[in-house]
Structure formats: structure tokens, C-alpha cells
Amino acid sequence: MITLRADLHMHTIGSGHAFSTVKEMADAACLKKLDVIAITDHGSAMEGASEAIYFRNLSVFPRSIGSVTVLRGIEANIMDMDATLDADEKQLSRLDWVVASLHENVTPPASPADHTQMYLKLADNPLVDMIGHPDTPAYEFDYERVVREFGAKGKIVEVNNEHAFRHGARNGENCRKIASLCKKYGVRIAVNSDAHIFSNVGVADAALAMLGEIGFPEDLILNASASRVMDYVKNKRLQKEQASS
């Protein structure tokens, strides 16, 4: 049985359509025995989300609340088929954890071939850490080709409990196909709640059940270990420092 030590995708009142504060999310994580959370509010292009100044000011977050380490993140919107994000390089490079996702109320779906090209470009963006909920039926793509590229470029692929298992059967089927390819090609994943309220923090039962069914290896799940997550973040900081020196 896989246990998660971190939840790397969640929203606070800063997203405009979520209902808890950073403190409430951290307290909920503590109760659920998680060691690390990433606060990933929606980028500015999402209706009701915070302006760029919100993300510039994330440095006010304490590094930990109680026993829980708090990562400063964003769920940036993929704005077009060129994989343009709704936050600039400077903003993204200051964050610990960058999720990039497609949302139908922000970016209209195109063809599967276009989505494939878009994800191949996104894989090339060094500022992106995790590919958010790639299971959306409206944005299907060439899973085999793209998952291999995500692996080659060190991207983390998300298994999003909420998105894959509470939005219709096809999301779940797509998620399972993508996870199976991650297993086949040794690509790391993260299993997250995408909580929009404190009570959903750490909820990933359906996702973990699916991963158990396909025999997904624990060592490829980034957030099954807190040190794995923190090593990833430290490594990323180190790379940035080296790049800027």
C-alpha cells in the first residue's frame, strides 16, 4: 500500500473559487500526517484568480507551518498551443513548484495533433515542474510519444485524484493509460488532491487504488517520500543558482 507524504497541488482563497486559507490547508495536512504541501493557486488568466502581484509576494509564506513544509507554487495556465504560460519567466523562476495545466474555460481545445505538439514544447520549458491533470478528454494527445518526452526532460506527470476520478469515466481511463506509460518508461509521477477546500487535502484514494491495480512502482512516485520531494526542490534551486552565476 502506497502512502503519500506530500500533496503538491491545492488551492486557497487566492484562486477566487476555493475556500480555505494557507494556514487551514497546512493544518489539514498536519492532521493527515503529510510532511510537505505545495500551494498552487491558479494563474491570473483563470477567472477570479489573483493578479501577478499575488505570486510575486509568495515569499512572505513561512517555510513551514507547524510540522508541515510549505512550498511556494502556482498552477499556471497553458494559454495556447505554443505552450505559452500566464506567468513570466521571472515570476516562475522564483517559485519552488510550477504546475502547468490546460483548462477549458481558459484555452479552447484544438486537435489531438496540436495538443501533442503543445505538450512536446511544454516539455522543453525548464521552468515547469509538473504537468497538471493531463487526462482531460477534450485535450487528448499522443500519450506514448509525449510521456516519453516528459521522462526525457525530467517532468513530473500528475495523477490528479479529483480531476481523473470525479469528472467522468473517460478522465479515469486516460489517467490510467498515462500512468501505465509512465510505468513502462520509468517516468516519475506525483499523486495529488487538487483540493479546493481544507477537507480535501491529501485525498487521493481513487488514484492510489488505480496505481495499485496497475502495479505502479513506489519509487517513481515523487510524493511518496518527503525527502524525494525536498531533494527535487533543492536540486532545482541549485541548478538555478548555477545558471545565474
- The alpha carbon dihedral of 211, 213, 218, 219 has a sign of negative
Of residues 175-234, those binding Zn ion (CB under 5 A): 194
**CB closer to Zn ion out of 148 and 200:** 200
CB count in 10 Å sphere of residue 93: 15
Q: Tell me, residue by residue from 52 to 91, as one string, x for binding to Zn ion by CB under 5 A and - for no binding.
A: -----------------------x----------------
Ordered alpha helix ranges (H), 13-142: 22-31, 52-56, 89-93, 112-123
Binders of Zn ion: how many residues, by CB under 5 A? 3
To Zn ion, the closest distance from the beta carbon of 168 in angstroms equals: 15
**CB closer to Zn ion out of 183 and 196:** 196
**Which of 33, 44, 116 has the alpha carbon at shortest distance from 67?**
33
To Zn ion, the closest distance from the beta carbon of 103 in angstroms equals: 6
Q: Which stretch binds Zn ion (CB under 5 A): 47-55, 93-101, 147-155, 214-222?
A: 93-101
**CB closer to Zn ion out of 35 and 75:** 75
Task: Say how far apart CA 55 and CA 72 lie, in whole Å.
Answer: 9
CA angle 128, 133, 139 (to 5 degrees): 100
Task: Say how far apart CA 237 and CA 10 lie, in whole Å.
Answer: 22
**CB closer to Zn ion out of 148 and 178:** 178
Does the footprint of Zn ion cover residue 101 (CB under 5 A)?
Answer: yes
**CB closer to Zn ion out of 100 and 229:** 100
Of residues 105-144, those binding Zn ion (CB under 5 A): none
To Zn ion, the closest distance from the beta carbon of 244 in angstroms equals: 29
Give whole-number Cα distances, 219 to 29, 144, 153, 230, in Å.
Answer: 22, 21, 18, 15
Q: Which residues contact 209 (CB under 8 A, 6 or more apart)?
A: none
- The alpha carbon dihedral of 98, 104, 107, 108 has a sign of positive
**CB closer to Zn ion out of 37 and 148:** 37
Binding site for Zn ion (CB under 5 A): 75, 101, 194
